[in-house]
Amino acid sequence: MPPFFSTARNHELSALDYLTTEINVAWTGVTLVKTFARVYDKDVDPPIVSLRLDNSAHQRREVGSTILVDAHNIIIDIFARSDAQRLDLAYFIIDKLRLGWVYYQFAHAIGDNSTLTKTVLGRATVIGWNQDTRLDFGDNVDAKDRYRHLISITVRHV
């Protein structure tokens, strides 16, 4: 039996897969990464979009039930080249996220994690728009921190 990924990992990878596809169609030169530290690597230049799942909240589906209904918080950091690009990229991402995306079950073969397989398991939808804001670190900042934007959403799959 192939090792399946957890719900949280599936949400993160599904969102990343969807945004990577959409951004690559409409934009050029945008790098998508999954870890925050990777943004500051020397070989990665803005514009950069970092997407990762931060935390999850669990609630019982109903009183007495042992089935949990999960909500996952996804953080999207935008590192742009200019303020105009920051606004445009943020608006583009919000416009794509509002439509929802395919939720996949990811897995890899035992002993080989270089190739991921994905199976459609439903649809992910945004149930909460938490933040869509500019981050201002002032004037004397690193080039990558100069035009930053934060989008935070809560998602669930059906």
Partner 1 sequence: MISIKVTTKGFEDTLNFLSVTLPSQIEAAMIFAAESAKQQMQATIKAKTRREGATGRLRNSLGIKVIKSRREIEVGVGYIPDLMTIAPYWYLVNYGGLVNPKARRVPGVFDLDTPPMSEFKGSGVGSGQFTYVRNGPVRFLMNVTSPILPMYYIEAGFQAAVRSLQAKAAEQLLN
- Is 115:85 a contact under the CB 8 Å cutoff? no
Q: What minimum distance in Å lies between the beta carbon of 29 and partner 1? A: 21
Long-range pairs for 98-101: beta carbons < 8 A, 24 or more residues apart: 98/126, 100/124, 100/125, 100/126, 101/14, 101/15, 101/18
40 lies in the site for partner 1, by CB under 8 A:
yes
User: SS3 for 2?
Assistant: coil
Neighbours of 33 (CB within 10 A): 18
Q: What minimum distance in Å lies between the beta carbon of 37 and partner 1? A: 6
Compute the distance between CA of residue 11 and CA of residue 105 in angstroms, rounded to an integer: 9
Residues 122-151 that bind partner 1 (CB under 8 A): 128, 130-131, 135, 137-138, 140-142, 144-145, 148, 150
Query: CB-wise, 23 or 53, nearer to partner 1?
Result: 53
20 lies in the site for partner 1, by CB under 8 A:
no
Can you state the percent helix, strand and coil of the chain, rounding each to 5? 25, 45, 30
Q: What minimum distance in Å lies between the beta carbon of 67 and partner 1? A: 18
Q: What minimum distance in Å lies between the beta carbon of 152 and partner 1? A: 6
Query: CB-wise, 11 or 148, nearer to partner 1?
Result: 148
Compute the distance between CA of residue 143 and CA of residue 122 in angstroms, rounded to an integer: 40
Compute the distance between CA of residue 56 and CA of residue 87 in angstroms, rounded to an integer: 28
Position among 39, 89, 93, 126 found at the interface with partner 1 (CB under 8 A): 39
73 lies in the site for partner 1, by CB under 8 A:
yes
| Residue ranges in contact with partner 1 by CB under 8 A | 36-37, 39-40, 54-55, 57, 73, 75, 77, 128, 130-131, 135, 137-138, 140-142, 144-145, 148, 150, 152, 154
